[in-house]
Structure 1
């Protein structure tokens, strides 16, 4: 997975990109459990995992509070949540839209009920809260574990990804 995206890692040495674990922590791979909607520690090495469009992975330090990780699936599995609190809303995948008044869901285009609901657009309100927003799937979290950058698909530019991580690291 990482090699396809030109991200170096050596789990024997505890290295992902420019970050290396030490005596106080190590990297732990987590897999999103759809049935109970929680992150669980993977019992397999990443090379043994079968990955598909519904697979969601998170590398996290062993001393991290996993309860603070964002959910593996947002927006009915068809988008990602942007913003927080009253400004939270879904950025829906192509072919999906937010139903009227429900800012935290994504449904197939043309299937929304047409009911009028919340007139305040949290997307418009939260645009100033983000410095970068690409799309969905691979999230870069800031030091407060908030989603700050999102990359779609698996074929994104590794140098751009590294630049975004380094920018957030120095905030």
Structure 2
């Protein structure tokens, strides 16, 4: 699986120490900045389409988290902990303390996706994104969070198809980054799987486009002549259907709803490759279809480590909590120490 890595570059942190000067010394449970440093300002778009800046909350304690909605392990823990702490803060939450969650996956985390995410999870704080990917990359860097941005770079360079829409007319967010499989099953029941990233396919890709890309990328020889009915498979890896039609190459489509293979009722040129129709298979008609394997499901992953900051009323970074293996009650003590 293609996996991104989030590298944490929390600099200038000391595990202990005091502030010095005229300010009363405070001991924190998390990684402490000594001395505190100014938190870089930013302006991003929240789930409601409104501009939100860090400086909007001058005079308040701000918790800044870097998460994304399709994350399945670390990010949900961080966000759930934040929600728990909001409840524990009572009236101080909103009045003295605010939260900001910044996405590290802007290709998928549009305002609409973020709005659905906060509704589904019962969260009430701004979740921020931007269509200005260079701006976001600068924010990640200035805050000490380095994100694998290869998919974003592909998009910026025009190498990613971002205009696909699903059958209901809605933008297919995951379709831009998912992996499609082409599986072959020979007459002897042997199988092989070839994968293509959706970003490498042309706009409005068909099953024929997916087949040719998958085979060409993996140096699989094939012949698929065109006819008045469209392209049909004649030969794969030197194995051709006999002239007596004792067997032939059959096209199967993966049914996402039923998680099962079904013989296609249309030709390969009429198959629209999308999130709803992600995988195809070419099967020798005399093979045992029950042995056709389930396609490997892969989508790009941004990474699973992150850092959450506490910014004081003066707009300075004071504490950083790395990853998600931290106690929300100890984090809460650090927040209350700054109120």
TM-score by shorter chain over 0.5:
no
Kindly indicate whether structure 1 or structure 2 has the higher relative contact order, using CA contacts under 8 Å at least 6 residues apart.
Answer: 2
TM-score calculated relative to the size of structure 1: 0.40
More helix by share: 2
Larger radius of gyration: 2
TM-score calculated relative to the size of structure 2: 0.22
